[in-house]
Chains A and B, each alone.
Chain A
Amino acid sequence: MENKVMIQAENIRFRYMPELAPAVDGVSMQIKKGEFVAVLGANGCGKSTISKHFNAILLPERGTVMVEGMDTREDAHLYDIRQKVGMVFQNPDNQIVATVVEEDVAFALENLGVPPQEIRTRIDDAMEMAGIAKHKHKAPHKLSGGQKQRVAIAGVIAMRPDCLILDEATAMLDPIGREKVMKTIRRLNKEFGITVVTITHYMEEAAQADRILVMNKGKVVLEGTPKEVFSQVDLLHSLRLDVPQATELAQQLRAAGLDMPNDCITEQECAEALAKLLKNSAN
């Protein structure tokens, strides 16, 4: 399981219009099964473009994208790929189709021609997994942003995908809604083994990933675990990216001559390092 490849992108180049500069150029990345990957990058770096290649919404001009061994350019695999790789977008309002929550969750299964009894059990499971089962008879516009986004997630996981791509799925939510959505996503990843690729501007979210890819001007420029990536504070700043607040604090304290580690990315780690520092200076 550990080493199986979910998505393999090889040397991708893509242009939205022939006369425009390529949005991504020469990007290669590999997503393993069960992994939780965060993709970071400033606006317009091509991170959304690359993610849309993963379920054949966009097709590469050059290079190949393989999803579990299926080439996205082959029409015969199109719906298999879209069923395996689900996608959640930024605005929850613009991805809900039906006027009742449970009908919306059933939408993908109806499209796939799943028999009605099976749709029923699968949407009940999906709504349970996304934590929205108690809202199933409500109208989507009566829900909060975070709830709507979890409806969208339920609608995707009802397809039983192997991989979930979140294209800034938490960007429009308030902090509580964002935390609940992230909790749902972590649970889907840890308990159900769904591969997660999240594109985000929130460094605290990226810090929870197994691996981070940093993109700039249509290329992958940095790759590694959150600790490895966030320890390169200057490089990230030069790419117009932030680091988590805890890392920023530790970095500034180091610059001021204090003995802080350069790999603390969570508040917990930072607090412990500070406590240790204070204890040492007291002695």
Chain B
Amino acid sequence: MIRDITIGQHFPGNSVLHRLDPRMKIVLTMAYIVLLFVAANPAGLALATVLLAGLYRVAKIPLRIIVKSLKPILPIIVFTVVLNLFFITGESQPLVELGFIKIYSEGIRYAVLMGVRIILLIAGTSLLTYTTSPIALTDAIERLLSPLSKLHLPVHELAMVMTIALRFIPTLIEETDKIMNAQKARGAQLDSGTLQQRMKAMVPILIPLFVSAFRRADELAMAMECRCYRGGEGRTRLKQLRLTTNDWLCCVVCLVLFGAIWCTNFFFTGL
């Protein structure tokens, strides 16, 4: 059961979005996030929703996947909406007045906008991880940040850490499973007892896991040395990222649409 966890939530496919250069996808996703904050009017967010829905159609990602990814953050959305509802004060008469709670029409408007914005934020960034494999993402992040290595920031090292982490997640999950079974065979009770007891029962699982992770790290470092690893300098890559005409075309289309959404600001002033 524990092995079924998928990390990065990659949803393999062969759509235009899947094939788009990962660097372009990251940049466009960031532009989209900014857009959600600068186009803070109902029409802007409505258009942004339509655009995202369209992109999900293009990527052929089913609706239930989006719903699933939104579920864990539902409490945050509800919390933000409720908070905004109660604490935004308007100039007009309050719509509802219950003791110290006053709800204004501005509050409702702002709460709805905020809720929609958070949903779009999550759905938008999820689209990036759905259509891009973790390894391509790591690669793209390394390339995008590479100018920073001139400032002596360890960009290559960070990307390497991410790659190795991705590589070892399934291995360590499998190992956790094994250790849990081994401790259960020795009479450990992992599924029963109070919360405190259960947390205590995790200690005999975590300690062997850490010890073995350090041993693995040691061996991996030696294996990497044997294969002439010496940091990022002078390294080449098997897969070269090249921006094609297609990538630029997608970029232009997206930016034009983003621009159009931003322009709604001129028609809707105020909140």
Contacts and interface: CB of A to CB of B under 8 A. Distances in A.
A115 interface: yes
A275 B229 CA distance: 55
Task: Report the contact-size class of chain A (Cβ under 8 Å from the partner).
Answer: 35 or more
A153 B236 CA distance: 21
B219 A103 contact: no
Contact of A79 (B216, B230, B236, B238): B230
Contacts of A42: none
B166 A82 contact: no
Contact of B228 (A94, A95, A100, A111): A111
Nearest to B215: A94
A86 interface: yes
A156 B134 CA distance: 25
B91 interface: no
Contacts of B237: 110, 116
Interface in B150-174: 163-164, 166-167, 170-171, 174
A98 B165 CA distance: 10
Interface string B210-245: 000001100110111111111000111111100000
Contacts of B38: none
Given A115-B236, A116-B238, A99 B230 contact: no
A82 B223 CA distance: 11
A140 B220 contact: no
Given A79-B230, A89-B223, A116 B163 contact: no
A123 interface: yes
Interface in A137-151: 139-141
Nearest to A107: B227
A139 B230 CA distance: 24
A106 B238 contact: yes
B135 interface: yes
A253 interface: no
Contacts of A113: 234-236
A27 interface: no
B169 to A, nearest CB: 9
Interface string B237-266: 111100000000000000000000000000
Given A79-B230, A110-B236, A156-B227, A99 B134 contact: yes
Contacts of A83: 228
Nearest to A55: B226
A99 B236 contact: no
Given A82-B228, A112-B228, A115-B236, A100 B223 contact: no
A25 interface: no
Contacts of B240: 116
B210 to A, nearest CB: 15
Contacts of A152: 223
A102 interface: yes
A57 B215 CA distance: 17
Contact of A57 (B166, B226, B234, B236): B226
A79 B226 CA distance: 9
A111 B229 contact: yes
Nearest to B160: A97
B216 A93 contact: yes
B146 to A, nearest CB: 15
Interface string A230-255: 00000000000000000000000000
Contacts of B135: 98-100, 103
B236 A116 contact: yes
Given A89-B222, A159-B227, A94 B170 contact: no
Interface string A112-146: 11111001100100000000000000011100000
A114 B176 CA distance: 38
A147 to B, nearest CB: 15
B220 A108 contact: no
A112 B229 CA distance: 8
A97 B164 contact: yes
Interface of A: 55, 57, 79, 82-83, 86-87, 89, 91, 93-100, 102-103, 106-116, 119-120, 123, 139-141, 152, 155-156, 159
Interface of B: 134-135, 163-164, 166-167, 170-171, 174, 215-216, 219-220, 222-230, 234-240
Please list the 5 inter-chain residue pairs (A to B) with the smallest Cβ-Cβ separation, ordered nearest first. A95-B223, A108-B227, A94-B219, A106-B238, A141-B170
28 contacts: A55-B226, A57-B226, A86-B226, A86-B227, A93-B171, A94-B216, A94-B219, A94-B223, A95-B220, A96-B167, A97-B224, A98-B163, A99-B134, A99-B166, A99-B167, A103-B238, A103-B239, A107-B224, A107-B227, A110-B238, A113-B234, A113-B235, A113-B236, A116-B236, A119-B238, A120-B238, A139-B170, A159-B228
Given A100-B135, A113-B234, A141-B170, 12 more contacts: A79-B228, A82-B225, A83-B228, A86-B226, A106-B238, A107-B227, A110-B238, A111-B230, A116-B237, A116-B239, A119-B236, A120-B238
